Structure formats: C-alpha cells, structure tokens
A and B are shown apart, each in its own frame.
Chain A
C-alpha cells in the first residue's frame, strides 16, 4: 500500500535519510524503530508531505505522492499524527474534530462520524466543549486518533504516540491503535518504546543514521533482541 523507493531527505546540508526503501502492505501494523536522530521522524514527515524528498519516490496505492502538498496527501486517506500530537489548543475538542471533517470533506457526515469517535473515546465526548489545550496528554492522544477516525484514514502515521505518557496510558493508547488497525487501517508507528511497539506490530524496520539496517517480522525482532540492540547501535547490517 505504501512504498518508499530510494528516498533521500535533506535539511540544507544535512542528510537525514539515505536512500530508504520501505514497503508496507495494506492492513499491516508496521513499526519503525531506531535511536534518536536515526531519521524516523524525518521519514514520516516526508511521507506526509511536510518535507519534499531530495531523491526517490513515495507511492500510496501506486499513486506518487512525494511533492504533493500535505493537504492533498491527507485527503488521499493518509493521517499523520506528529510528535506531540499536534492538537489545536485554542479550539475545543469538538472543533478539532470538525477541522478534521472539513479537511476530509465530510462535514455533512460530521455528526455521525463524531459520535463514532465518542463511542470509542467516551472521555472526548464528555469534554467535547473543553479547550483542547486543557486536555491531559492521554486525552490529547485520543483526540489525535479521533481526528484520524473522522478522516476514515486508510493509512495512519504515528510519531511517538506514547511520548510523555505514563506506562498505563501507553498501554491504553496502543490498544486503541490496534483497534484502529482491526477496523481496517494500515498503521506505521514510529516509537521509542520498542518493546510495546513490537508487541503489537506485524513488521519492524530499524533505522540508524538515516539508513535502514533491519527489515523483519516483529516477532523475530522481539526474539532476537540482541541483534536489535546491535542494529540500534549501528553494528548490524542487512
């Protein structure tokens, strides 16, 4: 469903991502792991259209999306939740969902979709009129996922969703991510919390220094943890 071929990402002089090849099949839950600065976020941001790759191609269901503006890509069914959740703090919870609906061109269907979101995340329903900036970290994460639900996202990119959350909340968030995958979304998860990510993922990519160093089923990654560590630190090559 998602394919990156030979993608390079540069920030001025600095090359953040070197010639990356990634393939994600529909319905998979894939996780991208790696140490800080390995290029994980840059990869996601490039897929989402915030950054243009300096080389290579990105295809979504065969359609080339690199170079398209982010809003176009979002409307093709891709939802990107950036690091920190990207909540619009001066808008209410409900308005945040509304913006997602506007973007998805689904305002006529808004009530229905919004109620679906409230069913899955009841706390959002309770605090629908509250300013989103006042929500707790976990609630904001739910709101972010809720916005993706409004979009009926087919591909969900998540950048460190567990960041800043207490362990119990992390489990909750990951459960919600799994739920979304079960409802048909494809998920690409960038995570620091490797164990939890691998526990729910089908496939894992490990990045180091902007390059892909490991590409294997999640279960294998879990069982060969030593090798994983080595990949993180940079001594493994595939």
Chain B
C-alpha cells in the first residue's frame, strides 16, 4: 500500500512536469498550427539563465524570475524574427523553420558556452527527503509537482477568465472569426508565445533541477515528451495536453516500477508503443480539441 502511494506521488510529480511541457507546445499549436520544434530550447534558455545567475550569486528567487523572463523574451523574439515571416505557409515549412531555429540555438549554446554539461548549483535542501506517514517525499519532486500543477492551473485559469485568454481560445478555434469580431490578431499571437515561453521557462527550470545539470541538447527529451503528451491528449487541446502529460508520466512510473529488469532498458520504447496503441483506438487523442478541429 505504501508502495502504491509512493508511486502515485512519483507519477503525479513526473506527470505534472510533462503536463507543463506539453501545455506550452499545445498553446502555440492551437492558435497557429505550428509545432514548435524549438520549444525545448526555450527550456534550455531558462535553465542556462538560472545556472548563470546562481553562479553570479544572484538570489534564487530573482534567478528564477530572470530565467522565466529569458524564455519569454526568447519566445517573443522567435515569433517576431522566425515565425512571423513564414506565417501562412504550409505545415511542413513551419515545421522545418522551427527545426532550423532549434538547431541554431543548440549550436549557438555549444559554440558560445560549451558542449559539456554544467552543474546546477542549487541549494542542498532541494535534494533532501522527508517522511509523511508511509510515504517518502523528496523535496524537489514535491516542489516540482506543486509548481508545475500551480503553473498549469494558472494558465488554464487565465485562458478561461482573462480577456487575452478568451481571445486566445477564440483564435485557436477560428482565427478568422475572431478577427472579424475585431480582436487584433497580432497581439493574440504574441501573447500566446508569451504564455508558451513562460510555461517553458518554468518547465525548463524544474527539469534542470531534476537532472542536476544543463547542457545544450537537454531540450530534446522534454520536447519529445511534450510532443507525445500533446498527441496523446489531443493535439491542439490544452486540457488534453495536461491530461496527456499526466498519463505519460503515470505510464512511465508504472512501467519503471513493474517491468522485469531485462525489459527496463526498453521502458521508453514500451511507453511510446502504448501511446501508439491508444492512438489506434482514439486517433484524435483522449480529449480532442473540438468538433471542426485543426488536426
């Protein structure tokens, strides 16, 4: 029983982080139909910012703010410089563009900083654990989970209640109609990237803390998880992305715990195979975006 609870906690913790990663990707896709291959790099940018600020002895709280700010700025710049000129192109062109910028950012990190990983110098207390009844809780997973859940919740709330959030949802469903109602398209797009960047920044910081280090290519794995989570949840659907993230996290934890040792190296392969199996039965994902959806 304690074992189950423990795994539950782990699943929630991992799932929350994946959900956060998927959320950022889903936001941009829902509005622009663009799968941002460079989303992982936004996370890396935040991670590097935090590492450098803590190396410069900047207080952690400020470092965090800087990190998230950096990824927001990067996201907005990405939109302005890279994606706006090719807007309206076919999905393949958009994809290739985001791939190009992803490669360039990774290479820039390798050239300007270092291809080698750099340790994150985070406070020790994060790596401790304490017991709560039968369950052992690590401080970092706990903080990651709560932050990730809080972050997702804030975004969902914002989408529901704020003017810009409603505009984003409206644009995601039908950009043309939304513009006909007078909503400024360009501003909506920028804010979408702002949100996406902020979420990516938070996810990047959490991811880095869990890995303990930062390197130029660290964005690839989160990107893949985010991809798979969004498709699992229903491409273009924000609640779907969150659900997909949790489902993916849960699947990984469950398999990690219950797979025989010979099969453990194949864990990720099996998880993805399961995802493909789910998609065979529900091609539009667990929580598809909408009736006339953008697929």
Contact = CB atoms under 8 A, between A and B. Distances in A.
Contacts of B215: none
Interface string B164-201: 00110110011011111111110000000000000000
B179 A71 contact: yes
A40 interface: no
B211 interface: no
B166 A89 contact: no
Contacts of B174: 86, 88
A139 interface: no
B173 A100 contact: no
Contact of A71 (B185, B289, B292): B185
Contact of A70 (B170, B180, B289, B290): B180
A133 B177 contact: no
B182 A90 contact: no
Contact of B182 (A74, A91, A98): A74
Contacts, number: 77
Interface in B136-176: 163, 166-167, 169-170, 173-174, 176
Contact of B181 (A69, A74, A89): A74
Interface residues of A, number: 28
Chain B CB within 10 Å, residue with most, of A75, A90, A104, A105: A90
Contact of B179 (A69, A87, A89, A98): A69
B291 interface: yes
Contacts of B166: 91, 95, 98-99, 102
Contacts of A32: none
Given A99-B167, A107-B163, A69 B185 contact: yes
B173 A74 contact: no
Contacts of A79: 180
Q: What does DSSP make chain B's interface, helix, strand, loop or mixed?
A: helix
Interface string B83-101: 0000000000000000000
Contact of B169 (A48, A80, A91, A133): A91
B84 to A, nearest CB: 14
Contact of B178 (A50, A99, A107, A133): A99
B177 A89 contact: no
Nearest to B164: A102
Given A88-B173, A88-B174, A91-B170, A102 B179 contact: no
Given A99-B166, A107-B163, A90 B183 contact: no
Nearest to B185: A71
B291 A133 contact: yes
A102 B176 contact: no
A82 interface: yes
A88 B163 CA distance: 15
A207 to B, nearest CB: 22
B239 to A, nearest CB: 11
B163, B166, B167, B289 pick with most chain A CB within 10 angstroms? B166
Contacts of B290: 89-90
Contacts of A90: 169, 173, 289-290
Contacts of B163: 98, 102, 107
A188 B180 CA distance: 16
Return the 5 tightest CB-CB contacts between A and B, nearest first.
Answer: A103-B182, A74-B182, A103-B181, A86-B177, A103-B183
Given A71-B183, A88-B173, A104-B181, 20 more contacts: A70-B176, A70-B180, A71-B184, A75-B182, A79-B180, A86-B176, A91-B169, A91-B170, A91-B173, A95-B169, A99-B170, A100-B181, A100-B182, A102-B163, A102-B166, A104-B182, A107-B163, A133-B291, A147-B181, A151-B181
Interface of B: 163, 166-167, 169-170, 173-174, 176-185, 289-292
